[in-house]
Structure 1
Amino acid sequence: METTKKENFALPIVMMILLFGMISFVTNLAAPMGVVLKSQFGASNFEGILGNFANFLAYLFMGIPAGKLLEKIGYKKTALIGIVVGFVGVGIQYMSGIASSFLVYLLGAFVAGFSMCILNVVVNPMLNTLGGGGKKGNQLIQVGATFNSFMGTSVPLLVGVLVGVVTKNTAIKDVNPVMFIAMGIFALVGLVLYFVNIPEPHLNTGNKVVEKSKYSAWSFRHFILGAVGIGVYVGIEVGVPGTMNFFLTDANAGGLDAATAGTVVATYWLLMLVGRFVGASIGGMVSSKTMLIVASAIGMVLAFMAIISPITSTVSIPVFQSSASGLSFGFTNVPINAMYLVLIGLCTSVMWGGIFNLAVEGLGKFTASASGIFMTMVVGGGILPQIQNLVADNLGFMTSFWVPFLGLAYLLYYSLIGSKNVNTDIPVE
């Protein structure tokens, strides 16, 4: 790595960043689709977010196998498999609109989840490796995460524009253009990636016998706590905007139409983009630990303010707006709770790279398998939002935000105490 010219890695880095964006695009489709599912099938908040749960449930089954794939066939082939599976998953979701079937949609979301898991296993260690690990590795992950946020911002905005005012006739087929965009990007990136040379630092070529170690990634306390932290983080990142979308479109709460609510939720993802851009800019100077401490502490304050503020108080916030002439930037009135929730996007923006870097620090040869375990724990992105929306169905929307508040408290603990490597005596070379 030290003797290889960095410019040789430019195209692989671009490909990894593109795939990072697709992870967000397909994953973030589940939350705004919940509004459509509630309309078409009369689903509750808990049922409306099931597409998100199906998507993340796939991580539980595919996380570790994806890590094994990475070791056996390398980054390029693993990524191509993920792209094909993603194309099929989105295709099934498209077919669910034709069949008008809730179950077929959930199947498509589940299959797409396998793809997102595989691509995550490829993208994160690859970007970290190309950046040389440490602060530079974190910086490159933040760059990829910035594009990830850009793609994530576009999804609720596109769905909101396509659906407009939610009626009893609103259905899955109304968002087919979003499905076509996803399948088209998968096809394009897959074609380009097929002809690109990708460095394979963790590929087991079989030329040497690898001695089995009595240790593994599970032997490191800071990794275990970090793996839990990734699950908690993803649950927060997905649960906050997803539940906020339901809150804003509920007649007894925000009372906004789907298009307007979509612009508000898109602003959350836009702030994640801004935060990741800033994180990428300062990532070479500020440690992952410091970033995570500040982000989780401020996130707790914002979540607490959202919970205790009266929903009758409104505030005007800047959002994207759609009109006959196209997209523009303007202001819309929302409950003040939504403003605090939108601002949490700035906090969650830098958490993924920070947690990942802290958790794999000092793992050496166990890094590739650790990445697969990480992806298994991303199932938390399905579990926490389900818990949150179960609370929302029974105790109210704002009460449900105690779930991400407690999650942020755990991340603050991890950044302050849990991230310290107390197993430095384990050989990692």
Structure 2
Amino acid sequence: METTKQNRTVPIIMMILLFGMISFVTNLAAPMGVVVKSQFEASNFLGMLGNFANFLAYAFMGIPSGKLLEKVGYKKTALIGIAMGFVGVGIQFLSGIAESFTVYLLGAFVAGFSMCTLNTVVNPMLNTLGGGGKKGNQLIQVGGSFNSLMGTMVPMLVGILIGEVTKSTAIPDINPVMFIAMGIFALVGIVLAFVHIPEPHVEHVEGADNGDSIWSYSHLVMGVIGIFIYVGIEIGVPGTMMLFLADANAGGLDASTAGFVAGTYWFLMLIGRFTGASIGGKVSSKTMLTVVSAVGMGLVFMAIISPITSTAAIPVVKTTATGGLGFGVADVPISAMYLVLVGLCTSIMWGGIFNLAVEGLGKKVAAASGIFMTMVVGGGILPLIQNAVADNMGYMASYWVPFIGLAYLLFYALVGSKVKKRADGLVID
């Protein structure tokens, strides 16, 4: 036990770095929709297919990744995920050379296998190293802060590279982003190969291990549904917003500015996760999830009912005259302002849902993590549904999809997360 405590710092740092890698590659898919839509003259629905392919992989890899984690441990599972990620991004790079939409989708799908595998590692490990409960949630929020930092960078980088002339944009124009992603995979993979990673979920976890089916825990089942919905909201809100803002007939902004506005959403997620990390040891996951779900519903509702002709000047992270990054102001439809603010709400949802859902599972946490990863496919399905609605009913009407999802998360926080007395005597209040 003492050895594990002494070695916690390095594993925590490595898991936080992996959290960032997950965000960098995952959040590349949505802004890529603008590029794909331009190069192949596609609809919003087709533009989000790369994002769908990325998350579809979770449906295939979620449970196997959980079993892999149980069999070979954190370190080997992470290294396998890193290798798959390098290959996946490499295929997306080759799709630009081949000028093939199909190859691009294949690369996004392979990258999704990697993201699923890495997610299976980082969440239970950070939660366990934090000791579960409020401290476990707090550590996940710290990892999520770095996750948001990387997520902030991606749409901005894509926006800078594709610039204002969207019609001439093609996949090779964003090759530098691909190179950065592959470089991150290579660097962290080499470092991780030489770092000792303890296996705390195997060595020191106490709790439920009574042979019951993992599906017999109602709070887990509802939490699994919550993860499906949450990831769909997190990806759908900024992804559809970027398409909306870059559409000449809707938001009317150039793609570069649209990318910075979407990046500001992820920047607010960074701020929210820093805040969540600072108060996570004092405020319960239930309280945090209740508040952000309710506020998120209000913001999305305001975005839906506000006329897109009304504008607001909002601060955004953007390029300066010298080519660096700084803060500036962008005039956007007021609906976009409300949607950007949703980033503050989605920032702490993942840790809260995961923490509530695995409470009391003990040695079943690794298996539960694999199930959670399967349901991350919601990040591909819900945005696809949302953009199908956008194609037929308009961009703002499509936001009823995340609104309904937020209503479910509010219900989960208030009612569904409570574990009632079971026949085997397990009680968690």
8 Å CA contact retained: 2:120, 2:370: yes
**Matching residue's letter, 1:404:** P
| Aligned residue among 377, 387, 390 for 1:389 | 387
Measured against aligned partners, the alpha-carbon deviations of 1:8-66 in whole angstroms (never above 9, x if no partner) come to: 21111000000000000000000100000010001100000001100000000000000
Matches within 5 A, 1:188-267: 188-203=187-202, 214-267=211-264
| Aligned residue among 328, 336, 339 for 2:337 | 339
Aligned to 1:208: none
**Matching residue's letter, 2:369:** S
Offset at residue 214 of structure 1 (A):
4.6
Offset at residue 178 of structure 1 (A):
0.3
- Give % identity: 75
**Matching residue's letter, 1:382:** G
8 Å CA contact retained: 1:57, 1:110: yes
8 Å CA contact retained: 1:221, 1:423: no
Aligned to 1:305: 302
Question: 2:339, 2:379 → 1: CA distance?
Answer: 17
**Matching residue's letter, 2:100:** S
Question: 1:166, 1:152 → 2: CA distance?
Answer: 24
Aligned to 1:294: 291
Aligned to 1:173: 172
Aligned to 2:349: 351
Matches within 5 A, 1:18-417: 18-203=17-202, 214-325=211-322, 326-417=324-415
Offset at residue 425 of structure 1 (A):
4.3
What's the secondary structure of 1:420's corresponding residue? Answer: coil
Offset at residue 238 of structure 1 (A):
0.1
8 Å CA contact retained: 2:81, 2:115: yes
Measured against aligned partners, the alpha-carbon deviations of 1:139-171 in whole angstroms (never above 9, x if no partner) come to: 000000000000000000000001101333210
What's the secondary structure of 2:166's corresponding residue? Answer: coil
Question: 1:102, 1:345 → 2: CA distance?
Answer: 30
Offset at residue 318 of structure 1 (A):
0.2
Question: 1:7, 1:237 → 2: CA distance?
Answer: 36
Offset at residue 381 of structure 1 (A):
0.7
Question: 1:127, 1:427 → 2: CA distance?
Answer: 28
What's the secondary structure of 1:181's corresponding residue? Answer: helix
Measured against aligned partners, the alpha-carbon deviations of 1:249-300 in whole angstroms (never above 9, x if no partner) come to: 1111111011100110000000000000000000000000000000000000
8 Å CA contact retained: 2:145, 2:270: yes
Aligned to 1:207: none
Offset at residue 4 of structure 1 (A):
5.0
What's the secondary structure of 2:315's corresponding residue? Answer: strand
Question: 1:67, 1:214 → 2: CA distance?
Answer: 17
**Matching residue's letter, 2:9:** A
Question: 1:5, 1:102 → 2: CA distance?
Answer: 47
**Matching residue's letter, 1:377:** M
Question: 2:329, 2:269 → 1: CA distance?
Answer: 19
8 Å CA contact retained: 2:129, 2:200: no
Question: 2:40, 2:131 → 1: CA distance?
Answer: 49
Question: 1:110, 1:8 → 2: CA distance?
Answer: 35
**Matching residue's letter, 1:396:** G
Offset at residue 242 of structure 1 (A):
0.2
8 Å CA contact retained: 2:224, 2:357: yes
Question: 2:421, 2:108 → 1: CA distance?
Answer: 39
What's the secondary structure of 1:129's corresponding residue? Answer: helix
Measured against aligned partners, the alpha-carbon deviations of 1:297-346 in whole angstroms (never above 9, x if no partner) come to: 00000000000000000000000121451222110100000000000000
**Matching residue's letter, 1:84:** A
Aligned to 1:209: none
What's the secondary structure of 2:326's corresponding residue? Answer: strand
8 Å CA contact retained: 1:36, 1:166: no
Aligned to 2:206: none
Offset at residue 7 of structure 1 (A):
4.5
Question: 2:80, 2:202 → 1: CA distance?
Answer: 16
8 Å CA contact retained: 1:318, 1:331: yes
TM-score by length of structure 1 reads 0.96
What's the secondary structure of 1:168's corresponding residue? Answer: helix
- Between 1:118-127 and 1:158-167, the stretch displaced more is 158-167
Extract unaligned runs of 5+ from structure 2: 204-208
**Matching residue's letter, 1:160:** G
Extract unaligned runs of 5+ from structure 1: 205-211
Question: 1:73, 1:216 → 2: CA distance?
Answer: 22
